Chain A
Amino acid sequence: MTLLIVNTLSAADEAARAAIEELTAAVQDYKVINTEGLRISPCVGCNACWLVTPGLCAIKDDYEDILKDYLQYDAVVYIAGTALGFVDHRMKNVIDRILPLVTMLTYIVDGQMRHVMRYEKDFKCGLLYAGSADKPYLDRWLGRVAINMGGQSLGAYPIESVKEVLACIS
């Protein structure tokens, strides 16, 4: 299992550092992306990645490398701060920019419309969150995100519970 870790907390955040240390000790092949200091703009919903330059985001910032990295690793673990019982806007912006990985074409999966995936990739994602949040809701949300990305959720866990996400990875 190879692992991509996307951390939107400060790189100096103690809980994030501890989580990353534990995650990276458990896998041999990994990459850590600290988004602090990177230029990651919010998705503007222009649909260019679907209809003008398929698969390529029109916003030229530091996000493109993250998009490429999604395709290089078996699973991604997001490390996020929280707000209003949910992930904060830094993480939501990272997730919102994932759209170039799907096409605007749709098909039916389990009785619901889904995007046709752009790549033959089993997208596995987990979430570690710091702060107060509604865990059952985060599980539900991440599950739906994963389904729409043609993959599966590893679950959402408080940042102290790294072992639980690791149990799903290994």
Chain B
Amino acid sequence: MHLVIISGAARPMPKSNTAKIIAAFRKGFEEGGNTAEVWYLSDRRQWQSAREAFANNELILFALPLYVENIPGIMLEFLEGLPPKAQPGTKIAFLIQGGFPEASQLRCCESFVQTLPPYFNCEYAGALIKGDMFGVNLMGEKLGSKMVLPFEEMGRSFAKAGRFDDAEAAAFAGREYLPASTLRKFELIGRPMQKFFMGRIAKSLGCKKKLDDRPYALR
């Protein structure tokens, strides 16, 4: 089985959370002799190759970060210029990752991608969604690799059926909403910790202002 993976992330590949998730997923998918190729839309020089790979193959996975409740603008631009397949039979699956922890935050985007395959004369092969991925790059190599490890198993699973199993994807997505006890803990302990640790990360990145700085005047 050969899989074409197209990353819809706008962030350049070396610093892309989506790219790290793709790498883990690909590792699991390629076990047992499957093959995969990856194209990154963050590099416009790859767009033509991505179009050709889409045209010449029958199993496609779009992997993307959630951008303001939907797919990133550059991925939308790519799709707008993508010709539909002449023949039916191609399957398109989606992998959507976001920063918020609740699965419910990704459902609006999932609803949109479900509508996409028919525009390209293709079949929908399911979507894998996962939140809490904001820190993949920020947390460093060791912790980041641990965060994306579960995607390896999803790659293995996807290889078995050539699509995402709905029940498995639902379990992988995790809780739709966080339980009240977790929310209370977050308000009490999580928020101050978040401010402290993100402040430290920001400082290490050269930030000289408060994270809630207001550079513009409000009328």
| Chain A interfacial positions (CB closer than 8 Å to B) | 42-46, 50-56, 67-68, 71-73, 83-86, 88-89, 92-93, 95-96, 98-99, 103-108, 111-113, 116, 118-121, 134, 137, 140-141, 144-145, 148
| Chain B interfacial positions (CB closer than 8 Å to A) | 9-12, 15-16, 42, 65, 67-74, 76-77, 79-80, 100-102, 104-105, 108, 111-112, 115-116, 119, 134, 177-178, 180, 183, 186-187, 191, 194-195, 198, 201-202, 205-207, 209-219
* B contact residues around A88 at 8 Å (CB): 76, 80
Q: Given A71-B216, A71-B219, are A113 and B72 also a contact pair (CB < 8 Å)?
A: no
A96 touches B67 (CB 8 A): yes
Q: What would 11 A/B residue contacts be, using CB atoms closer than 8 Å? A: A42-B10, A55-B209, A72-B219, A83-B76, A89-B76, A96-B73, A112-B102, A112-B104, A119-B218, A120-B218, A134-B115
B191 touches A144 (CB 8 A): no
A55 touches B73 (CB 8 A): no
In the bound complex, what is the Cα–Cα distance between A131 and B54 (angstroms)?
27
A112 touches B70 (CB 8 A): no
A104 touches B198 (CB 8 A): yes
Which A-chain residue is minimally distant from B101 (CB atoms)?
A113
Which B-chain residue is minimally distant from A68 (CB atoms)?
B216
B108 touches A45 (CB 8 A): no
A108 touches B209 (CB 8 A): no
Given A42-B72, A54-B202, A141-B108, 15 new contacts (CB under 8 A): A51-B198, A54-B211, A54-B212, A54-B215, A55-B209, A85-B112, A89-B80, A92-B71, A98-B68, A104-B198, A105-B191, A113-B105, A116-B212, A119-B216, A137-B111
